[in-house]
Structure 1
């Protein structure tokens, strides 16, 4: 199964993914390729130049690519093939293409109330107050029409949020 974890900045996607990976070592995490310096921090990703990204995209190295916030993001083909469950940090805007690319994709939307998002973004220290306001305005982004998803509210401790994500990662019962 392939899982896309999506949600607004500050929702705690990376924290919950790390918690799920610890609890479920059978999960395989896709290491995204992003056109930003690896030193930028945050999640574990492969930072590349825009030129390198374009070359790899033209070569067909990616199963899925998208643009967001002025950056290019790629999901390497070799990381989504093979047995077992795969999880990746995705983009709500890229979901229509992701669903076409991965027909059995399960989408999990990680959310939190605006006051929680704002506090988390401020604590990161990477954004100005204006940037935080802009991110909060984008947090209300609706899921693309026709995309089925399961919501995980991450408004408590990391342990509680991780438990909620782990429950969402369980097989769907018919």
Structure 2
């Protein structure tokens, strides 16, 4: 028997709504060694719809890092050219190196409804706040103690004693900017910290201002469409 009724496919409707959502910029900041990189990797593994913002940097690659995936490794002359051409959404000097976020791929992802994750410091977070505060959520990761922070730095076996000492001396200054962030997570246990991070992302995605399709949906709901 023929039927003229249209089959209701909720998955297609939700997909269309997702595409209407503008993506959010998720900033994770912390002193070096607080576990930010581990939390970042976990968040990306659990959320295939989150794109990692790949920064350009003038520092040398660490063991295992891949150009174009972990960072765009460029020299200082090239960095200066990009900065002067206003091709960075944010940029900063950290220790003796420079870091910057190319703007074009970030805005492209947001327009497509994809979230973009930033692994940057407080200086970059301040610049992003000035450039795109409506799209931004900022999360600061704290270590349980400074002693534990130093222990984690040494366990990585990637930096010299001199570099570790330099990082530790700067950690208090970095931590002092915690109040500039929307959320703070103390990373005493990585699994618990990961769960808190995911809760924040889920809640931010559900904010009314980030779901512009809801106005039409509610109108249709009331009208019986």
Is TM more than 0.5 here? yes
How much does 1:114 deviate? 1.3
Alignment of 1:1-174 (within 5 A): 1-39=24-62, 44-81=70-107, 82=111, 83-104=113-134, 105-112=136-143, 113-141=145-173, 142-143=176-177, 147-156=180-189, 158-172=190-204
Tell whether the 8 Å contact from 1:38 to 1:46 is kept in structure 2 after alignment: no
Q: Which has the higher strand share?
A: 1
**RMSD of aligned Cα (Å):** 2.2
Tell whether the 8 Å contact from 1:19 to 1:159 is kept in structure 2 after alignment: no
Corresponding residue pairs, total: 172
Q: Which has the higher helix share?
A: 2
Decide whether aligned partners of structure 1 residues 41 and 8 sit closer, same or farther in structure 2, where only a CA change above 3 A counts.
farther
After superposition, what is the alpha-carbon deviation per residue over 1:8-39, rounded to whole angstroms, capped at 9, x for unaligned?
Answer: 00011111000000111111110111012235
| Structure 2 residues not aligned, in runs of 5+ | 1-23, 209-225
Tell whether the 8 Å contact from 1:116 to 1:155 is kept in structure 2 after alignment: no
| Structure 1 residues not aligned, in runs of 5+ | none
Provide TM-score, normalisation by structure 1: 0.87
Pick the structure with greater CA Rg. Answer: 2
